[in-house]
Structure 1
Amino acid sequence: MAMILDAFMSKFSALLADLVYEEVIMQLGVKDELHKLRQRMRSIQCLLKDAEKKKFDESAIELWFAELKDVMYDAEDIIDLCRIEGTQLLTDQNPKSKTSLVCCDFSSAFSCFTSVPLRHDIGNRIKDINGRLNQIYEDRKHYKLEKSTISKTPQINLLDSRQTSSMVDPFIVGREVEVAANSLVDHLLGDMVDEKCRLFAITGMGGVGKTTLAQKVFNHPKIQTYFNVTVWVCVSQTYLETELLKQVIRGAKGNYGDSNTKEELQRILRDSVTSIQSLFLVLDDVWESDVWINLFRVPFYNSNRSVRVLITTRDENIVNKMQIAYIHSVTYLSEESSWDMLRRRLFLEEQEELANGLRELGLMLVNKCKGLPLAIKVIAELSGALYLSFEDLPSHLKQCFLYFSLYREDAQLDPHEFAQLWVAEGFITKQQDSLMEDLAEECFNELLNRNLLLPKDYDGKCRMHDLIRSLTIFLSKEETSFGDLNVRNSTRSIKLRRISVANQEAAVEILDCIADQGALRTLLASSSDLLLDDERLRRLSHLRVLDISHTQIQILPDSIGKLVHLRYLNLNHTHITTIPKSIEQLTNLQFLDISFCKKLGQLPSGITQLHNLRRLSCTQLPSLGQLPELKELSIEDATKIKKIGPEFLGSDVNSTRIAFPKLERLQILNFPELEEWSFGTEVEQNTSPRLKLLPCLQKLIIRNCPLFKQLPEGLKYSSMKSLEIVGARRLKSVDNLSAKIEELHLSYCEKLKVVCCAPTLKTLEVQECKALSCVKKLDSLQKLSFNDFEEESLPEWLLKFLQQRGLQNDSNDDFLLDLYCSDEVIQKCIKGGSYWDLIQHIPRVKMFSVSELVNAVSNLIFPMQIFN
């Protein structure tokens, strides 16, 4: 993506401000040069606003921008290298101080230099940067650039940011879409017995709402109920036949193994569909009929199963070449429907007088949109074209927004993934008392709130409309490529900084074409055929982000240790068998994902030297307790582990050390053999009060560990605030909780009998724990959620709790009771029922039932007075 100079220079200038006033800079003799560097940067930054205005009228200014970006990238690399080399020098001089080295921040790294040649080299590099910046500043006269005030990067306020939902946007899905979706569903489910395979189509121009309608059909309750398997595939203009076949096979619960030819995959697809009763497939954004005729038609017809295929396309000529059972043409919204959509987007539904006053203006606006839902959505939110949407963003959000250009059409955008990438890229400025990943997710949510992303209706992921994606590609084309083969033949001196390999066959060719530029910082090659050998990896020494997940790579080259700038490394779902020892040289690495590497035998001991590691996803239990920056640890699918012992805390833990000093989130997922978890006698019996265990832990999640019996006793010495346990079928008691615990979530723990909470507990959620009979210490509880749709009565422990609450007389009580239960239980809770005497004293109650009658009012939180 294109560097947003204003954001980049603001952050870099702030870092230099701490550097130039360090006393140790005097020893290097570069204080003056560093001061000049910062001052010249700030002078140039004042020119950026005027240069941005003039660049569309004067193409030569683009060259000025390009040179400035080159200098800033080089400056960042030099400062980064200073920190790396400086830390290494200190390590060589005092090997015992390795742990303390990680405490050196960006500004104090220069104190490490004692090597005269190294200091001389660093000084010369900084002087060279200053010389280039001076020339850029002098060139301002030629372009007649005027100074303006430097804008400040706004702080991200976690409290004020609006929360978002993963549901389909109700403001863009109106009455017409609902009616059309119901009609399509009726056609799809008609003649299910007589015809095994039928094809349906949605046609219309780009942006008119074809995909939105297809989504409504795909998620329709009747579709999800009738079909055993539903699969969504985005085809788009460029696709590989084998990849499309693999996607559908995966969706149909099939396994293609090592098969990679069209003929083999078609046979596997036929067999996969044959093994199920029915299949509903959406082929979104189809540009040619061969997708159906040459790929899917024969396997589906030969499967002899009920198959319904829904395609969306802009070209009606395509559907004429297929045997389409029914075609739905999406037309423009009517004037009245357009105004209705705009009115809802402006939250005027309940303000009739104000809406009537704005009707004339609103109709003028929607008429300019010509009935396009997307245009109405944008104009309602930002009152302008797509480019104005981008210009309205603060500079730090522009960087994040343009990063989406690296992803294909209709890609599912995971906020957690982008949070890690943006932190690794350096887009997020650290703020006191805030986790950088949380700040990054707030940036993601802000883009969602500004309607630059479209929410999905499941799993929290989003997508981007192809028109907005086109804008990101246009604005970042000088530095970013999404697998564009034209890169090889470009006659312009483009320095690509970030590439995403989309066309698998061209992956190596594209990479070799740009590797010699020595500028590539990000390589996203997930699910590609790219194999990085030792020589090719050495040519990518400036990489900060490397994603080769879901590839066939078996050997990770030893030269991975040469990527000293690397912050993000994703190897999940690969065939690697070992990780080279050289990985310990990646001292800047912040995010490492080695989950689902089933052939990986063991982790190198050097992994504990990655002192800047913030998040690790793996399938083993390395001794990671002494990693000073590790904030999130997720361990999944460790199928052989039966016991977690004290070695997990670190091999050299003693009475004066801190185990997992900054870990905030720990996930233990899918351990089918895990029975025991212990921190060791020293911790469990608290014989070493100076040994601090998990002092920053916020949340612990234990899921799908069916043999797990008991929480470790030492957990009570941690700072854990939230605990979630799901599927621990042999767990009999929950105790040893932290004195700071505030949230407890328990689900599907069949043998759980006793829960001993802490007085600080505020939220308790219990689902399908039928043996539970005793819950203690709920004095401070503010919310209790109970979920069991089968039982006809509430459990004794809950009734006892409600009875105790009835004895309290607190006018300020804001307690909430959530009941997800049977109709019989709800009948007992309302006035006249056997539970009424207990329920009537609860300030707020929220009840859900499988009954449609109850669901008509159950989504409301109401005071109990409504029962009177």
Structure 2
Amino acid sequence: MTIGTQYIHRVDLMSVEVGWELLWKSMNIDEEKEVHNLRNIGIEFVRKCGCLPLAIKVTASVLASRDQTENEWKKILSKYACSQSMLSDEMEGALYLSYNELPYRLKQCFLYCALYVEDYAILRRVITRLWIAEGFVEERQDQLLEDTAEEYYYELIHRNLLQPDNKSFDQAECKMHDLLRQFALNISKEECFIGDIETLRGVNMSKLRRVTVVSKKDKLVLPRINKVEAKVRTFFTVLGPRSIEDTLFKKFLLLRVLVLNYSLVQSIPHHIGKLIHLRLLDFDYTGISCLPESIGSLKNLQILSLNYCDVLHSLPSAMSQLYSLRCLSLLDTKINQVPKGIGKLKFLTDVRGFPVGEGSNNADVQDGWGLEELSSASLLRYLTLVKLERAACCSTNTMLMDKKHLKALVLEWTSYSEDVRNTEKVFEQLIPPVNLETLYIVGFFGRRYPSWFGSTCLSSLVHVILRNLRCVGLPPIGQLPNLKYLRIEESYAVTKVGPEFVGCTKGDLVCSQLVAFPKLEWLIIRDMPNWEEWSFFEEEIEVAANGRGEDGPAEIQKVNAPSARVRLLPRLVKLKLDGCPKLRALPLQLGLDTAGLKHLELIETNNLKAVDDLPLLSELLIINRCEGLERLSNLPQVSELRVNGCPNLRHVDGLDSLRQLWLGVDMEEISRCWVHGLQKQHQRLHGEDLDVYTMFSS
């Protein structure tokens, strides 16, 4: 059965007219005249795609990169006809057209993604490292390889050859459609193998370059391979075996990429040092307890990943000899002893899990690295500092400020220290560069935030994640001009979020003119068990505390008047509150300025009595396990409502645009109070029945 035929069996075909509409909308053609002029030849493309949505989208990506003229489209159509004659059906013809338009390096990157098993998540940070290690990424003047590799990643997404995960804000995760993956495997079938490697016994492997081993066996046994055949460049394990025979490190001497993660491999043989071509070594989630000193012989090694190695507590002194190393990743690996001299590794761009310590002037092995060892790492792009409670104050405040490539910074205090004052001083000295885009703060236990928090030096910040903060308040970040994503988690000391979060206080004349969180699109707040009050301006706190009586709306309008000029969250798209059981009310102004709000999700906000007066919320409202919720009202633009675990929800109305209602099985009895009214309203407004579905717990 051909690829195209498989697809036809799984999805309905579009009509030609619908397919043409999908084609020009996927290309963002807005001019009515242009759409009309290209319609006839566009319909030819749709027919060549067999009216299959994936093929149409892929074809649209090719057409979008060309001049929007009939002659140009005819040239492409002639290539399409040629490719179709070589391939089996319309789908492969469309995919081949898009593949053939790729630059050579992007072709290599696209085909490499097929090494992931079906439906496997492809992480941006992982796949770009693999491309670099394989030599697919072009070196450009004044640009890091990692930046170029990310451009490749987003280009493949733009061309619809990779599918981003919509749950990921910045497309940091994607998948390869199974048809695209099969297409890529067809092209590279002689070079790539995915499956149980023992099935290759007796097979000529001279053309084999990349292997993904899928095995549930306790021990991985390799087939007999002579030196002439052993030209494999990449070796992955999936569903890793408990052990791997040592011959792996002797047979594949041309390896560039070796990934043994998710296996219980406990030791690495000394002769790994013979793999002199190795550029990437990934032992994530393995049981290794040490690395041999011979690792220092891997002079070409660029990426060493040792994340989540629970029994690995030290690094060999030969680490300081890996002069080509670009990435060292030690996340959640409890490293106690490290070699002196990491500062010698001039090409480091990515260091994750850097264990901070006081360092040592004498010993070759020390208990953590001093922050000063990073001073010479001028190419750093991503940096995670852990165990910051052990850090001593630096001699300068510019240690990070001069890192012009630094895009992401993670500052983590792993345990509590009584020396709060030193912690605050160290944090004050870690001033990020102005080009920083992502900032994680984890476990900070000081009483005050550094003076640079919320200042102009953070003007490029796009992502902020705050987790397990010990402070009673949140930092003043409401005026960061480019902040798009904010997540706050596990800040147990916070009971009240107020104007200080926005960055202004009552009576501040400047604040009356500001836009709070001007570009924020996603706001996620989780696991805040003691959080009770939420306001953006001081006037709101009194109203929230007093509750809403019969005169509530009039009082709210009067009290809110002084802040009428303040704009709040004008670009917010998604708001999620999860595990905030004491929160009494949503901010009053939330429903006034959030014109882009499409997704509101409330989980275990048990003290919340009502969700109402959100006239701008336009698409999806999810409410799950909110036991105290009694009322939903005045939500005129919500088109989909999902409710589960709300035993006291007795009043629901004002959902004029509702199209779909999803109810948990536990809502059957209580929903009788209001489902009939919603049905009648929907019938009156839209002339049809409301779609009501039942949700079943997994």
TM-score tier (shorter): 0.5 to 0.7
1:602-627 deviation line (CA, Å, top 9, x unaligned): 22122122121111111226353432
Judged with a 3 Å threshold, the aligned counterparts in structure 2 of structure 1 residues 664 and 818 are, in CA distance, closer, same or farther, namely: closer
Judged with a 3 Å threshold, the aligned counterparts in structure 2 of structure 1 residues 754 and 362 are, in CA distance, closer, same or farther, namely: closer
Partner of 1:90: none
1:816 maps onto 2:521 in alignment: no
For residue 103 of structure 2, the aligned residue among 385, 394, 419 is 394
Q: 1:533, CA displacement in angstroms? A: 3.7
Partner of 1:628: 346
1:270-321 deviation line (CA, Å, top 9, x unaligned): xxxxxxxxxxxxxxxxxxxxxxxxxxxxxxxxxxxxxxxxxxxxxxxxxxxx
Alignment of 1:37-186 (within 5 A): none
Q: 1:573, CA displacement in angstroms? A: 0.7
1:372 maps onto 2:49 in alignment: no
Q: 1:514, CA displacement in angstroms? A: 6.1
Does the aligned pair in 2 maintain the 1:369–1:376 contact within 8 Å? yes
Judged with a 3 Å threshold, the aligned counterparts in structure 2 of structure 1 residues 711 and 581 are, in CA distance, closer, same or farther, namely: farther
Partner of 1:523: 235
Equivalent position amino acid for 2:21 in 1: D
Q: 1:591, CA displacement in angstroms? A: 0.5
Local SS of the residue matching 1:333: coil
Unpaired runs of 5+ residues, structure 1, are 1-203, 211-329, 774-787, 861-865
For 1:691 and 1:700, the matched residues in 2 are separated by 10
Local SS of the residue matching 1:416: helix
Judged with a 3 Å threshold, the aligned counterparts in structure 2 of structure 1 residues 479 and 564 are, in CA distance, closer, same or farther, namely: same
For 2:117 and 2:51, the matched residues in 1 are separated by 27
Judged with a 3 Å threshold, the aligned counterparts in structure 2 of structure 1 residues 841 and 853 are, in CA distance, closer, same or farther, namely: closer
Judged with a 3 Å threshold, the aligned counterparts in structure 2 of structure 1 residues 494 and 564 are, in CA distance, closer, same or farther, namely: closer
Partner of 1:857: 595
Does the aligned pair in 2 maintain the 1:732–1:753 contact within 8 Å? no
For residue 381 of structure 1, the aligned residue among 36, 52, 61 is 61
For residue 584 of structure 1, the aligned residue among 296, 314, 320 is 296
Local SS of the residue matching 2:346: coil
Partner of 1:551: 263
Judged with a 3 Å threshold, the aligned counterparts in structure 2 of structure 1 residues 801 and 362 are, in CA distance, closer, same or farther, namely: farther
Equivalent position amino acid for 1:380 in 2: A
Partner of 1:22: none
Partner of 1:431: 140
Q: 1:473, CA displacement in angstroms? A: 1.8
Q: 1:592, CA displacement in angstroms? A: 0.6
Q: 1:387, CA displacement in angstroms? A: 1.6
Q: TM-score, normalised by structure 1?
A: 0.50
Local SS of the residue matching 1:676: helix
Local SS of the residue matching 2:225: helix
Q: 1:767, CA displacement in angstroms? A: 6.4
Local SS of the residue matching 2:107: helix
Judged with a 3 Å threshold, the aligned counterparts in structure 2 of structure 1 residues 354 and 365 are, in CA distance, closer, same or farther, namely: same
Judged with a 3 Å threshold, the aligned counterparts in structure 2 of structure 1 residues 532 and 505 are, in CA distance, closer, same or farther, namely: closer
Identity rate of aligned residues, in percent?
Answer: 25
Partner of 2:7: 207
Alignment of 1:709-858 (within 5 A): 710=423, 713=426, 716=429, 720-721=433-434, 722=436, 724-728=439-443, 730-735=445-450, 740-742=457-459, 745=464, 747-748=466-467, 749-751=469-471, 794-795=499-500, 798-800=503-505, 803-805=508-510, 816=518, 818=520, 834-838=559-563, 840=565, 845-846=570-571, 857-858=595-596
Partner of 1:234: none
Judged with a 3 Å threshold, the aligned counterparts in structure 2 of structure 1 residues 731 and 761 are, in CA distance, closer, same or farther, namely: farther
Judged with a 3 Å threshold, the aligned counterparts in structure 2 of structure 1 residues 767 and 569 are, in CA distance, closer, same or farther, namely: closer
For 2:288 and 2:131, the matched residues in 1 are separated by 26
Count of residues paired in the alignment: 505
For residue 497 of structure 1, the aligned residue among 190, 209, 213 is 209
Q: 1:585, CA displacement in angstroms? A: 1.2
1:340 maps onto 2:53 in alignment: no
Q: TM-score, normalised by structure 2?
A: 0.60
For residue 157 of structure 2, the aligned residue among 448, 451, 461 is 448
Judged with a 3 Å threshold, the aligned counterparts in structure 2 of structure 1 residues 571 and 823 are, in CA distance, closer, same or farther, namely: closer
For residue 416 of structure 1, the aligned residue among 115, 125, 128 is 125
Judged with a 3 Å threshold, the aligned counterparts in structure 2 of structure 1 residues 353 and 485 are, in CA distance, closer, same or farther, namely: farther
For 1:476 and 1:578, the matched residues in 2 are separated by 37
Q: 1:568, CA displacement in angstroms? A: 0.2
1:622-646 deviation line (CA, Å, top 9, x unaligned): 353432221111119xxxx8x7334
For 1:742 and 1:398, the matched residues in 2 are separated by 37
Judged with a 3 Å threshold, the aligned counterparts in structure 2 of structure 1 residues 725 and 362 are, in CA distance, closer, same or farther, namely: closer
1:404-449 deviation line (CA, Å, top 9, x unaligned): 2322222222221111111111111221221211111111111111
For 1:347 and 1:549, the matched residues in 2 are separated by 42
Partner of 2:657: none
Equivalent position amino acid for 1:583 in 2: I
Q: 1:476, CA displacement in angstroms? A: 2.0
Partner of 2:380: 663
Judged with a 3 Å threshold, the aligned counterparts in structure 2 of structure 1 residues 595 and 806 are, in CA distance, closer, same or farther, namely: closer
Judged with a 3 Å threshold, the aligned counterparts in structure 2 of structure 1 residues 800 and 366 are, in CA distance, closer, same or farther, namely: same
Local SS of the residue matching 2:59: helix
Local SS of the residue matching 1:467: helix
1:645 maps onto 2:354 in alignment: no
Local SS of the residue matching 1:512: coil
For residue 602 of structure 1, the aligned residue among 291, 294, 314 is 314
Partner of 1:560: 272
Judged with a 3 Å threshold, the aligned counterparts in structure 2 of structure 1 residues 515 and 463 are, in CA distance, closer, same or farther, namely: farther
- Provide the aligned C-alpha RMSD in A: 4.8
For 1:834 and 1:770, the matched residues in 2 are separated by 32
Does the aligned pair in 2 maintain the 1:547–1:569 contact within 8 Å? yes
Local SS of the residue matching 1:446: helix
Q: 1:808, CA displacement in angstroms? A: 7.9
Does the aligned pair in 2 maintain the 1:338–1:371 contact within 8 Å? yes
Greater RCO, 1 or 2 (C-alpha within 8 Å, sep 6+): 1
For 1:798 and 1:654, the matched residues in 2 are separated by 31
Does the aligned pair in 2 maintain the 1:616–1:632 contact within 8 Å? yes
Does the aligned pair in 2 maintain the 1:694–1:718 contact within 8 Å? no
For 1:711 and 1:209, the matched residues in 2 are separated by 62
For residue 285 of structure 2, the aligned residue among 573, 578, 588 is 573
Judged with a 3 Å threshold, the aligned counterparts in structure 2 of structure 1 residues 457 and 496 are, in CA distance, closer, same or farther, namely: same
For 1:707 and 1:732, the matched residues in 2 are separated by 13
For residue 174 of structure 2, the aligned residue among 462, 487, 491 is 462
Local SS of the residue matching 2:351: strand
Q: 1:695, CA displacement in angstroms? A: 7.7
For 1:741 and 1:561, the matched residues in 2 are separated by 43
Equivalent position amino acid for 1:720 in 2: P
Equivalent position amino acid for 1:666 in 2: L
Does the aligned pair in 2 maintain the 1:699–1:720 contact within 8 Å? no
For 2:125 and 2:231, the matched residues in 1 are separated by 27
For 2:472 and 2:486, the matched residues in 1 are separated by 11
Local SS of the residue matching 2:211: strand
1:360-408 deviation line (CA, Å, top 9, x unaligned): 4444433443332222223333364222222111112112122123222
Q: 1:344, CA displacement in angstroms? A: 2.4
Does the aligned pair in 2 maintain the 1:549–1:573 contact within 8 Å? yes
Unpaired runs of 5+ residues, structure 2, are 63-76, 81-92, 526-532, 541-552, 577-585, 599-615, 617-698
Judged with a 3 Å threshold, the aligned counterparts in structure 2 of structure 1 residues 511 and 424 are, in CA distance, closer, same or farther, namely: farther
Q: 1:770, CA displacement in angstroms? A: 12
Does the aligned pair in 2 maintain the 1:496–1:514 contact within 8 Å? no
Equivalent position amino acid for 1:800 in 2: T
Local SS of the residue matching 1:799: coil
For 2:139 and 2:209, the matched residues in 1 are separated by 24
1:678 maps onto 2:387 in alignment: no
For 2:474 and 2:371, the matched residues in 1 are separated by 34
Does the aligned pair in 1 maintain the 2:278–2:301 contact within 8 Å? yes
Deviates more, 1:392-401 or 1:816-825: 816-825
Deviates more, 1:526-535 or 1:427-436: 526-535
